[in-house]
Structure 1
C-alpha cells in the first residue's frame, strides 16, 4: 500500500504521511495525535466526533449559564482526549470525567445526549 506523501486536511483532521492523524488545531504546535485506525480512519473520525460534541456541549453550557464546574470538566475532557495517541487515551480517567460531567449537567436532556455522544465516540477510540 503506498504511503501518503504528506499531510492534508480532511474534515478538520490533519492526516500525515506517517499514518498519524491530528486535529488541525494541533498542527499549530500542541503536538497530540490520534493514531489512524486502518484505512477507514475510524479512530480519527471518532476523535473528531467526540471533540465536536464537546465543543457543542461547551457552547450550550456557556449559553445556558451552566455551572463553572461543568464547563471546566468539559474543557478537561477535551484536553484529556488531545493529550496523547488514541490507543493511549486513559479510558478510566476519561470515563470518570464523563461520569462527573453527566452528573453536572443533571436532567438537561440535550446536554445529557451530548455527553452520551462523547461517551460513545470515546468508546470507539479506546475500544472499551
Structure 2
C-alpha cells in the first residue's frame, strides 16, 4: 500500500513538472539562451588579411628578426604573397613579384643596437680612514 502511494506521488510530481515546462512563459533556468550564429562566407575573400604592421626589429648575433602582425619573421620568410628580403633597424623590405615594398618601424624611440649599451661606471671602493 505504501509503495503504491509513493508511485502515485512520483507520477503526480512528474506530471506537474512536465505541465510547468509546457507553459509558454516558463523556461528551464539551466538552459543557455539561444544565440544566433553568424555565418561566415567561405572562399578566399572570407577573411581579409590585415595590412602588415611592423612592431619590432631585433638584430642579435647576426640573426635578424622582424615582428610583423605579432609574428616573428626572418629574411627569406613568406608573408602572404610577399617574401622578406631585408631587415634593418629602420624597417623591413618586402618583395612582391618584381616590386618592393618598404615597411618602416613605426616607433623608434627605444631602438638601440645590441652591443652599444653602455653600463654606468662602477663606484670606486670606499676608502676607510682611521682616526
Q: TM-score range by the shorter chain?
A: under 0.3
Structure with the larger strand share: 2
Q: TM-score, normalised by structure 1?
A: 0.19
Structure with the larger helix share: 1
- Which structure is higher in RCO with an 8 Å CA cutoff and minimum separation 6? 1
